[in-house]
């Protein structure tokens, strides 16, 4: 079973829920931190890392001696990652989504693929938890390819918990897609409710069952509860606004 822990906004307690849930399960469990732009689950799990993998993605490389400047590569690319300007072909590796379309349509065989570094994946263990996270290379614009590589470590014989990035953009979809359940984390504030609604819409588009954890549940108002009832979103847990929890978090300690 694969459970994604997600939230419409940052700072709601998503990583707190993911790490404490992983530690609470009395079974072999995987915890994947897919917030590759700013992974922080390792600060709480404190695993011993024993494997590091540098991840590359294929991008086009043009042999201008073979190129006839037909422009088909630029026409097929929906992201303008390769264009023909005058008598020059210009690839833009940072925009490339590695679909290979430009190479397929090149009749002259002028386009091959080379690797562009995305970041690294680290794997380790702690207290029966198999921990994997990705770290995006500084300056890299597209987290989803690295997130998909992190998810390749998922094992069917283990319960897998994915700590997804905040928000509802492409990295979140890449983290939630094809999972069995999405556990949404929010807080009872106007900002929390607004972003929760966006997250619920995304989960419904993916047609994945979901539930809700309300963090700092005794602040704000009851509008999150009202919305959850209207949306048919079961509230599975409420975590109080407790100074002891905040102090433990600041020390990198687990609530459980």
**pLDDT per residue as tens digits for the range 188-198:** 999 999 999 99
Query: Which conformational region is residue 163 in: left (phi greater than 0), alpha (psi within -120 to 50 degrees), or beta?
Result: beta
Q: Residue 135: what pLDDT? A: 96
Quote the pTM value.
0.89
Which residues lie below 8 Å from residue 221, measured CB to CB, with a gap of 6+? 188
**2-56+120-250: which CATH topology?**
Rossmann fold (3.40.50)
Which residues lie below 8 Å from residue 225, measured CB to CB, with a gap of 6+? 188, 214, 235
Query: Over the stretch 71-126, which tens digit does the pLDDT of each residue have?
Result: 999 999 999 999 999 889 999 998 999 999 999 999 999 999 999 999 999 999 98
Q: Residue 10: what pLDDT? A: 83
Q: Residue 9: what pLDDT? A: 82
Work out whether strand 159-166 and strand 2-7 pair parallel, antiparallel, or are unpaired. Answer: parallel
**64-109: which CATH topology?**
Alpha-Beta Plaits (3.30.70)
- Name the residue ranges covered by the structural domains of the chain: 2-56+120-250, 64-109
- Reduced to 3 states (helix: H, G, I; strand: E, B; else coil), residue 224 is helix
CA separation for the pair 20, 55 (Å, rounded): 29
Task: Tell me the mean pLDDT in the region 219-241.
Answer: 92
């Amino acid at each position: 079973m694969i459970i994604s822990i997600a939230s419409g906004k940052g700072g709601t307690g998503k990583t707190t829920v993911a790490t404490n849930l992983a530690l609470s399960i009395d079974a072999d469990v995987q915890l994947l931190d897919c917030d590759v732009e700013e992974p922080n689950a390792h600060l709480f799990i404190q695993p011993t890392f024993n494997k590091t993998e540098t991840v590359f993605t294929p991008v086009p490389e043009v042999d201008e001696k073979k190129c006839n400047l037909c422009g088909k590569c630029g026409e097929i690319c929906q992201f303008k990652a390769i264009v023909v300007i005058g008598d020059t072909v210009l690839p833009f590796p940072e925009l490339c989504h590695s679909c290979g379309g430009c190479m397929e349509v090149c009749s002259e065989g002028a386009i091959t693929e080379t690797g562009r570094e995305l970041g690294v994946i680290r794997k380790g263990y702690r207290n029966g938890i198999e921990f994997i996270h990705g770290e995006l290379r500084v300056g890299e614009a597209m987290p989803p390819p690295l997130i998909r590589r992190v998810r390749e470590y998922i094992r069917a014989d283990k319960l897998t918990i994915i700590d997804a990035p905040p928000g509802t953009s492409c990295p979140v979809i890449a983290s939630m897609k094809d999972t069995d359940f999405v556990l949404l984390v929010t807080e009872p504030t106007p900002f929390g409710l607004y972003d929760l609604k966006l997250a619920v819409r995304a989960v419904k588009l993916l047609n994945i069952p979901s539930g809700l954890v309300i963090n700092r549940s005794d602040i704000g108002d009851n509008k999150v509860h009202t919305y959850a009832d209207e949306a048919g979103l079961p509230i599975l847990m409420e975590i109080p606004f407790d100074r002891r929890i905040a102090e433990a978090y600041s020390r990198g300690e687990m609530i459980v």
